[in-house]
Amino acid sequence: MFFIIPGSLVLGFFFSSHLQRLVPAVPYMFAYVTLTMALGCGVAQLRAVISRPGVMVLTFLLAHVLSPLIAYGLGTMLFGADSPYVVGLVLFTIIPLGVSTVLWVGMSAGSVPLILAMVVIDSAISPFIVPAGIHLLFHQAVQTDSAQMMSDLLLLIVAPTILGVALYEWTRGRIQQAVKPYAAPLSKLCFVGVVLLNAAAIAPYMATMSGDLLRLVPLSIGMVGICYAVGYFGTMRYRSRELQVTVSYATGMRNISLGIVLAMGYFSPLTAVPVVLSILIQQPLATLHHYFLQKLNKPAAGAEG
């Protein structure tokens, strides 16, 4: 994945003109990835997640309160409080958790039921969180299409999750192992396709970048890395590898497609630059984070096996 994800991003940029017509397929690929992950979750697992609201509240605080404050502080130091780049950096941290997080959590032995529940809830409350966060930091009202957002949420997360859980319950948990030889590889291919097509979709916006890249690129890399670290170290007190894996991916990866729409629709085009950079950064850093988690927890994983 360390080579495939960056390679997919590069191919998406170079062949943007040919891939643009396939971009509408992204939601369906996302939905399939979610369905594949949900096949391993039953009602009992989801009930157990809901019974521990403290973990979800902590994740949302780390992702949407601490991370935006860090982004605002770092961005202001480099570009000034009124810079559109600062708005973009903060916007990246306020938008809801990314659906692709589910795949990374599954591959890294995190809690799929927990991340599914958090993605669903975070997306559902995002029509309130995003405008409020932007307004508090920049005193600027942002109007979001809540109906469209909820419609996308139903397609990407809620419907596939309900279907996956229903199939799990209907087969008493046997379906995941039965379809895994076919469903798992196709899920990873869909994930790569999502990265490829998202890169093609944002390629036209890259022309808006200027000489500020020398400062903005390192800052964006650092900010995305900080988001991963905030989740990992913020849950150390639980002494749970599964929880640290899950929350670190949750705080590190966001719904970038929504971020680009908001940036281009409600702010200057330069606001979209940090959001565009983040999609280039968060997937490669996800592979590095996966490698870091595997190396760090290799002895523990061997003991568990």
Range with the poorest average pLDDT among 51-60, 87-96, 127-136: 127-136
Domain covering 4-294 in this structure, CATH number: 1.20.1530.20
**Dihedral angle of Cα 106, 108, 110, 114, to the nearest 10 degrees:** -40
pLDDT digits (tens, 9 = 90+) for 250-300: 999 987 666 766 776 677 767 877 887 887 788 788 888 888 888 876 644
SS percent in the chain: helix, strand, coil, step 5: 85, 0, 15
For 66-93, the pLDDT digits (tens) are 999 999 999 999 988 888 889 889 989 9
Of 223, 238, 198, nearest to 63 (Cα)? Answer: 223
| Angle, in degrees to the nearest 10, between helices 112-138 and 43-50 | 40
Q: How far is CA 17 from CA 13, 175, 204, in A?
A: 9, 40, 9
Across 136-164, average pLDDT: 70
Averaged confidence pLDDT in the chain: 80
**Reported confidence tier of residue 304, pLDDT bands at 50, 70, 90:** very low
**144 within 8 A of 15, measured Cβ to Cβ:** no
Phi-psi label, residue 43: left if phi above 0, alpha if psi -120 to 50, beta otherwise: alpha
pLDDT band at 302 (very low <50, low <70, confident <90, very high): very low
φ, ψ of residue 142 to 5 degrees: the values are -125, 125
Residues 217-248 have pLDDT tens digits of 899 999 999 999 999 999 999 888 889 999 99
User: What is residue 263's DSSP assignment?
Assistant: H
**What span, in angstroms and rounded, lies between the C-alpha atoms of 114 and 100?**
14
What predicted TM-score, i.e. pTM, was given to this entire model?
0.76
State residue 69's pLDDT score. Answer: 95
Predicted local distance difference test score (pLDDT) of residue 301: 41
Token pair, residue 245, equals 């894996």
As a whole-number percent, the residues of the chain with pLDDT over 90 amount to 18
pLDDT at residue 9, rounded to an integer? 76
Strand partners, 254: 97
C-alpha 257/C-alpha 254 separation (Å) is 9
Confidence of residue 35 (pLDDT cuts 50, 70, 90): confident
Predicted pLDDT at 305: 37
Under the banding of pLDDT at 50, 70 and 90, the label for residue 210 is low
| Domain positions in the chain | 4-294
The more confident residue out of 268 and 103 is: 103
Considering the chain, what percentage of its residues have pLDDT values greater than 70? 86
Radius of gyration of the chain measured on its C-alpha atoms: 19
CA dist list (Å): 67 to 49, 105, 231: 24, 20, 10
pLDDT value for 303: 39
Tens digit of pLDDT for each residue in 151-171?
A: 766 777 778 878 888 888 888
Q: Which residue has the higher pLDDT, 208 or 235?
A: 235
